[in-house]
Structure 1
Amino acid sequence: MNKKTNTLLFVAGATVVNIILMFVFLIAGIVILSIVLPRDIHPGIAQGAFVLLFILSVIGSFLVYHRIMKILAAKIELDKYFEPIFPGRKKGR
C-alpha cells in the first residue's frame, strides 16, 4: 500500500475509534445519571443534564483520542507511513 492509502485508512479508522469512544462515554454517563438522578426530576433538568453529558462525552473522547495519538506518534515514525493531509505551501510562489 502507498502512503495515500495508508493515510485514508488511518483517518477512517481513527474516526471510527473516536466515535466509539464518544458513545462509550455517553452510555457510561447515561448509566451514572440514571443511578444518581431521582425518577421524579423535572424534564428540563434531565434534558439539560443530557446535553451537558453529550458535550462532556465529546470532550472526553477527544482527550482520550489525543492521548492515544501522542502515544502512537511517539512509538511510530508517522512520516514514514502517512502522507500529510494538508501539504505545506510551495516555496517560490
Structure 2
Amino acid sequence: MRYCDLHIRGRPMLLRDWREQNGWTLARLAAALDLPSERSVGTVQRWETGKSRPEADVIERIETVTGGAVTVADMHETRLAFLSKQLGNSSEGVARCPAE
C-alpha cells in the first residue's frame, strides 16, 4: 500500500485542530500522553506545527488519545508540510497519488 493511499481525507487532521475542537489545553494533552512535565507543553506545540516529530510510541499514544482522529499519516504529513515550507516549496504536504 502506498502512503498516499493511507491518506484519503484530502488533508491531515492536525493535532492542534483536534485539541482545540475538543477544548483541550496543551498541558492536558501532554498529561494524557504521559509526557514528563518538564517542557512538555513546548514539545507538544512543536509537534502540532511540525517543527519536530514525536517518537513512534508517542505517535501511537496520540492516535489512541484522539480516538483515531489523528493518525500516524497525519503526523507524518504535518512534519512534511513544515519541512516543505522551510525549503521554500509552495506546495503543501505530500504529493497525492496519481489517478489510476
TM-score range, shorter chain: under 0.3
Q: Would you tell me which structure has more helix in proportion to its own residues?
A: 1
TM-score (norm 1): 0.28
Higher relative contact order (CA 8 A, sep 6+): 1
Normalised by the length of structure 2, the TM-score is 0.26
